[in-house]
Amino acid sequence: MIRRGFGLVALVVLLLLPFILSSYQLGLLTKMIIFAIFAMSLNLLLGYTGLPSLGHAAYFGIAAYAIALLSLRVTHNSFWIDFPAGLALAALTAALFGLLALRTHEAYFLMITLALSQVLWGIAFGWKSLTRGDDGIPGVPRPNLGLPWSLSEGVPFYYFVLFFFIVAVALLWIIVRSPFGQALVGIRESEARMEVLGYNVWLYKFVAFVLAGLFAGLAGNLFAYYNGFVSPTYLSVIFSATALIMVILGGAGSLIGPAVGAAAIVFLENAISVYTERWLLILGIIYVLVTLFAPHGLVGFFRERRRAT
């Protein structure tokens, strides 16, 4: 009951914030929400299934490229074609990568997800006739839904992103609370025990892998519209590592923890980048400090403090 009340209050706050924030602050909040979806998608793998991926940016980036290329060169900004295509391509890529990655375990799984993601990064970087290489693809238009208001404006686009965030949270809540989600937790704790109980462990992990890719694709779609620009950076190992740190910082294995971690990382990046260009160094320090002093993330840390008092 307390959690539901907190969730309702948080939703009301998110709905009212556009009326008190500046355009810059609203843009930053929109970015936080998009990356919250991205972090929560990885959490389905890391936090609930126990699969630490270093290639999660692949599904984010492939969806973003799908939006950019389709809207600019094929459909001329047809949301009802571009958006589902981005999701489908992300899910298909996750399915193909899952067939390969799930043959491995532990460190080998980590390395093969990294390698597969770098293959896509190499294609995006080298296929300049299609992707413009490191120059990226600028001018990605905001979707045209035929509504009385334009999504090119900050407030309508914020509510557009918030709608998909609410849908993502609701779907992920259903997934992790379902028998399927409970089976994923069991696999995380002991694969051998779940196999003895008769579960098809590989199939459960494969479905979780594809679902995580689908939600990452949703974040990629939204970020392509938000930024209006797509580049190979979206497929890089740094992008995947940043998502991993968001999950760990917020608290892996909790539904809302990764969203908190994503908001914290986006805020810190924007605040610190004003004073120094060595953001990656700061990010590494954050990871070390969280690992040492808050191994269960910010959400876990505050829960432990509350129980202690």
pLDDT in tens, 217-232: 999 999 999 999 999 9
Q: Is the pLDDT of residue 116 over 80?
A: yes
Is the confidence at residue 148, as pLDDT, over 80? no
* Region of 78 on the Ramachandran plot (φ > 0 left; ψ -120 to 50 alpha; else beta): beta
* Nearest-5° Cα angle at 238, 67 to 158: 45
pLDDT of the residue at 221: 96
E strand or H helix at 230, and its extent? strand 229-230
| 104 or 164, which is more confident | 164
Give the helix/strand (H/E) hosting 287.
helix 279-293
**Nearest-angstrom CA–CA distance, 284 and 116:** 23
Give the tens place of pLDDT for each residue, 37-54.
999 999 999 999 999 899
Is residue 177 included in any domain, yes or no?
yes
Which of 68, 131, 55, 124 shows the shortest CA–CA distance to 94?
55
Per-residue model confidence (pLDDT) at position 145: 82
Of 6-10, 87-91, 164-168, where does mean pLDDT reach its minimum? 6-10
pLDDT of residue 308: 63
SS3 at position 182:
helix
Q: Considering the domain boundaries, does residue 97 fall inside one?
A: yes
Sign of CA dihedral 185, 175, 261, 231: positive
Say yes or no to pLDDT of 1 above 60.
no
Query: pLDDT category, 35, cuts 50, 70, 90?
Result: very high
Residue 305: the pLDDT is 65
The phi and psi torsions of 230 (rounded to 5 degrees) equal: -135, 135
Which of the two residues, 298 and 57, has the higher pLDDT score?
57
Which pLDDT does position 10 carry in this prediction?
A: 84
**What's the chain's average pLDDT?**
89
Is 71 domain-assigned? yes
Q: Is the pLDDT of residue 2 over 70?
A: no
CB neighbourhood size of 303 (10 A): 15
Residue 165 maps to a domain? yes
Asked if pLDDT for residue 260 goes beyond 60, the answer is yes
SS3 137: strand
Q: Percentage of the chain with pLDDT > 90? A: 60
Output the pLDDT for position 112: 93
**Residue 46, pLDDT score:** 92
How many structural domains comprise the chain? 1
Q: Lowest-confidence range among 70-79, 118-127, 201-210, 285-294?
A: 285-294
Does the structure show a pLDDT above 80 at 309?
Answer: no
| pLDDT computed for residue 33 by the predictor | 96
pLDDT top residue among 112 and 295: 112
Q: 40-49, 93-102, 176-185, 295-304: which has the minimum mean pLDDT?
A: 295-304
**C-alpha R_g of the chain:** 19
Domain membership of residue 282 (yes or no) is no
Q: What is the domain range of residue 45?
A: 24-236
Mean pLDDT of 227-239: 92
| Domain-located, residue 124 | yes
The reply to whether 118 falls in a domain is yes
* Residue 199 pLDDT class (50, 70, 90 cuts): very high
pTM of the entire structure? Answer: 0.92
Is position 100 within any domain? yes
Residues β-bridged to residue 137: 230
Q: Which two tokens stand for residue 129?
A: 């006739």
